[in-house]
Amino acid sequence: MNPAIYPKMAVIGCGLIGSSVIRAARAAGAVDKVQVFDLNPQSRAEIERLGYADAVFDDAAAAAKDADLVVLATPPLSLAAAAAAAAPGFKAGVTLTDVGSVKGGVGAALASVAGEDAFVIPGHPLAGTENSGPAAGFSTLFQNRWTILCPLEGREDAPYQEALTRLERFWAAIGANVEVMDERHHDLVLAVTSHLPHLIAYNIVGTAADLEAVTQSEVIKFSASGFRDFTRIAASDPTMWRDVFLMNKEAVLEILGRFTEDLQALSRAIRWGEGDKLHELFTRTREIRRGVIAAGQESAEPNFGRDRQP
């Protein structure tokens, strides 16, 4: 096996993503030693029990000490505080990254606490499930998924570029495809592909739960006719998603505005019986599905393959 890309990795915050990074990195031999900090004593006990780490700490700086790579995997709004708490442990030349779903301002915030000798390279693996916590992690979570890195603006210097290449190698080693993008564009792309879908899913599930004429048990019983697809992403981690919407407010409201306009036009077409308009949209959207499947981002099986087929 090749030598580890980062001999020592520290993971600060160890839920679904943090624990999956650890399991994937160990499976790939991309790290030798793993040190973990988590704020939650129960999670720390679970991480010990699951044997993810060589050492588990209740102090972020102690976990970060001497690490070659520090991965911040806390909820997005806690990143800056987590970085500040870990910073006293940073060695010169450490690479500091994160896995948060919003990137605007993250580079600047981390750079302001990390010190000049750290290479700050914010990142975002586009992977996850609707489950949370350290026990939800698994080593193949990033396979065939994208990880977007958002390097600091103006850092064209060779040491920074080398650090970037090394971090790209790390993500590739654990199965991800890597894309480099500026943070503003990242937040707009994710507002469309992830944040709006989650917001809509949370909203429709909430609307259904509040009806008087249809009971909650009817909604659940008859959910297979479409509704259940939305419940999956509406079961995602509430704290993380609260942070996402608060941090990516501008892009989310912009995309939400367009969505609402389109929905009003659709509502009007239904009210006035404009069948051709409906048919035209419903035909156009099939193409996108074909693109998603052709790009290998989805199973081509009906119903995601969740039903057994003959």
By CB under 8 A, what part of segment 108-167 binds a second copy?
A: 126-131, 136, 138-141, 145-146, 148
Alpha-carbon distance of 195 to 54, in angstroms, equals 35
Can residue 2 be called a binding residue for a second copy (CB under 8 A)? no
Beta strands in 138-279 (DSSP E): 146-149, 177-180
| Near a second copy by CB under 8 A: residue from 29, 93, 159, 206 | 206
Can residue 42 be called a binding residue for a second copy (CB under 8 A)? no
Per-residue contact flags (x/-) with a second copy for residues 56 to 95, judged by CB under 8 A: ----------------------------------------
Count of C-beta atoms within a 10 Å radius of residue 70: 33
Can residue 229 be called a binding residue for a second copy (CB under 8 A)? yes
271-300 residues near a second copy, rule: CB under 8 A: 271, 273, 275, 278-279, 281-286, 288-292, 295, 297-299
DSSP character at residue 136: G
177-196 residues near a second copy, rule: CB under 8 A: 185, 188-190, 192-196
> Least distance (Å) from a second copy to the CB of residue 240?
9
> Least distance (Å) from a second copy to the CB of residue 298?
5
> Least distance (Å) from a second copy to the CB of residue 66?
30
> Least distance (Å) from a second copy to the CB of residue 62?
30
Residue 93 or 238 with smaller CB distance to a second copy: 238
Signed CA dihedral, 55, 45, 20, 139: sign only: positive
> Least distance (Å) from a second copy to the CB of residue 223?
5
Alpha-carbon distance of 31 to 22, in angstroms, equals 9
Match 């507002």 to its residue by tokens: 191
Residue 8 or 198 with smaller CB distance to a second copy: 198
| Near a second copy by CB under 8 A: residue from 39, 115, 166, 231 | 231
AA letter at 133: G
Q: Which helix (H) or strand (E) holds 158?
A: helix 158-173
Query: Quick check: helix, strand or coil at residue 281?
Result: helix
Can residue 40 be called a binding residue for a second copy (CB under 8 A)? no
End-to-end CA distance of the chain: 42
> Least distance (Å) from a second copy to the CB of residue 213?
6
Phi, psi of 149 (to 5 degrees): -110, 140
Q: Would you say 37 and 57 are in contact if contact means Cβ atoms under 8 Å apart?
A: yes
Per the rule left: phi > 0, alpha: psi between -120 and 50, beta: everything else, 78 is alpha
244-273 residues near a second copy, rule: CB under 8 A: 245-246, 249, 252-253, 255-256, 258-260, 262-264, 266-267, 270-271, 273
Choose among 124, 119, 78: nearest CA to 98.
124
Residue 45 or 292 with smaller CB distance to a second copy: 292
